[in-house]
Amino acid sequence: MEVITVTCTTQAATTVKIKAAQPRFPGLFDLRSQNFFLASRYTPVFAESQSPGPLVKTAVATLILSSFIFPITRQFFRPFTPIASYLIFFYACRFIPSEWRPPIWVKVLPALENILYGANLSNILSAHKNTLLDLLAWFPYGLGHFGGPFVVSAVLFVFGPPTTLPVFAFSFGYMNLAGVMIQVLLPCSAPWYENMYGLAPANYSMQGSPAGLARIDALLGFDLYTSGFTASPMVFGAFPSLHAATSTLEALFMSHVFPRFTPLWAFYAVWLWWSTMYLSHHYAVDLVAGSLMAGTVFYFAKAKFLPRLQPEKRYRWDYDYVEVGETQNDYSYGIAGLHGSDPDSDEWTIGSSSSISSGSLSPTEESPKPWSEAYSSHER
């Protein structure tokens, strides 16, 4: 049996041996089960895509497989796997044959909007347009949505407890993957479609629209959004709003690490809500659904995998141990593989941890298990 030695720096340097090759059966959160699920979702669609060509597809598949061979790449790519699956699946959706797809719902979202709110909030918010409002809507929707995950990841890595970033990566990837699946199975038109075509039936040959972002392109003087949204692989992916889901998930994770600034993170999420409706990209019901999905994913991750904060700690390197989840009796370590990661590939997430507990408040109380026992019982 392979034995890997890991040296941990605490008040006195200690060396512990971790059993990396433990026989186990794959469970729901085991990496093998997750990888099989992810591959079964995007592989058929990616294989059917006309672009890129076979050589590029083979190179991408080889790169993904080889990234799991070496610990130095596996430790980073493993948490990124759900995100990569979401991006590949989203891109490949453009190649799904129309005859495989369900009918497009044009009247459902406007009807729900009027039933729930008594009016089309997107049309109300976008009735008065000017350059200042365009810029205020552009910052969160056109910039923050794409750059926010990178900023949040960097902040969580530095200031969050060890394993916070991998949990965020898994949550982000699975949430967006689920959102795209819903959009494929329940295609709905956005407010811009109603503004252009009314409630006329839609078909998959129609192109997308940048809607309010076209004014940003005109203001900047070059094509930043028009071409991308026109050729979008998910033209009728209004429900649920992944913009709202992403901003809500980011706000919840940032509130977990910086609870004092929760109003600020909430303000950002609401700001993005307003921008999506002002730019005619989503109905309010889309935003509610996206945020509910993000809340469900976050609180599940918090209960099972997210490490608890220790108020006296400021940086991840200050943690000598981590407490995972909200249970008080079970030992668990919610690192990048959720329930099935190998210690050699996830050492970067550990920081200076010397013990892991889900119930004790310090590594000396109730003699918490050493790493070898924690991993041994965890892997079984």
Banded model confidence at residue 50, pLDDT cuts 50, 70, 90: low
Among candidate residues 304, 331, 355, the one where a domain is terminated:
304
Q: What is the mean pLDDT of residues 229-234?
A: 89
Nearest to 327 by CA among 362, 367, 358, 299: 358
Residue numbers of the domain that contains 291: 102-304
Over the stretch 298-340, which tens digit does the pLDDT of each residue have? 999 998 888 888 888 888 888 888 888 775 544 444 433 444 4
Max avg pLDDT among 29-38, 98-107, 269-278, 345-354: 269-278
pLDDT(125) > 50: yes
**2 and 116, same structural domain?**
no
Asked if the model's pLDDT at residue 97 lies above 60, the reply is: yes
pLDDT in tens, 179-192: 999 999 999 999 99
List the one residue out of 284, 253, 286, 270 whose CA is nearest residue 140: 270
The sign of the dihedral angle between the CA atoms of 62, 68, 74, 77 is positive
Do 207 and 330 lie in one domain? The reply is no
> Residue 260 corresponds to which tokens in the numbers above?
């004092």
In tens, the pLDDT along 51-89 reads 556 676 677 667 766 666 777 667 677 777 888 888 888
On whether both 93 and 107 belong to a single domain, the answer is no
Among 97, 120, 153, give the residue marking a domain's end: 97
Any bridge partners for residue 18, and if so which?
4
169 class by beta-carbon count within 10 Å (0-12 exposed, 13-18 middle, 19+ buried) = buried
- 247, 179: one domain: yes
Query: Do 4 and 18 lie in a common domain?
Result: yes
| pLDDT the model gives residue 61 | 66
- Among 235, 225, 238, residue whose Cα is nearest residue 287: 238
Sign, Cα dihedral of 173, 178, 184, 189 = negative
Shared-domain flag, residues 19 and 113 = no
Three-state secondary structure of the chain = CCEEEEEECCCCCEEEEEECCCCCCCCCCCHHHHHHHHHHHHHHHHHHCCCCCHHHHHHHHHHHHHCCCCHHHHHHHHHHHHHHHHHHHHHHHHHCCHHHCCCCECCHHHHHHHHHHCCCHHHHHCCCCCHHHHHHHHHHHHHHHHHHHHHHHHHHHHHCCCCHHHHHHHHHHHHHHHHHHHHHHCCECCHHHHHHHCCCCCCCCCCCCCCCHHHHHHHHCCCCCHHHHHCCCCCCECCCCHHHHHHHHHHHHHHHHCHHHHHHHHHHHHHHHHHHHHCCCCCHHHHHHHHHHHHHHHHHHHHHCCECCCCCCCCHHHCCEEEECCCCCCCCCCCCCCCCCCCCCCHHHCCCCCEEECCCCCCCCCCCCCHHHHHHHHHC
**Of how many residues is the chain composed?**
380
With 90 as the cut, is the pLDDT of residue 240 above it? yes
Angle (CA) 254-257-258 rounded to 5° is 75
Residues 37 and 9 in one domain: no
Predicted local confidence at residue 341, as pLDDT: 42
pLDDT at residue number 54:
64
pLDDT value, residue 332? 40
Together in a domain, 334 and 358: yes
Residue 223 has pLDDT above 80, yes or no: yes
143 and 269 both lie in a single domain = yes
- Report the share of the chain in percent with pLDDT over 70: 68
Residues 139, 268 within the same domain: yes
Query: For residue 307, which phi and psi values (nearest 5 degrees)?
Result: -70, 145
State the first-to-last Cα distance of the chain, in angstroms, to the nearest integer: 15
Number of domains composing the chain: 3
Is there a contact between 298 and 171 (Cβ–Cβ < 8 Å)? yes
Per-residue pLDDT, averaged over 129-137, amounts to: 92
317 in the same domain as 269: no
- Report d(CA 214, CA 33) in Å as an integer: 43
Domain termination residue (choose one: 72, 97, 122): 97
Q: How far apart are CA 311 and CA 260, in angstroms?
A: 12
Say if residue 58 is in the same domain as residue 152. no
pLDDT (0 to 100) of residue 329? 45
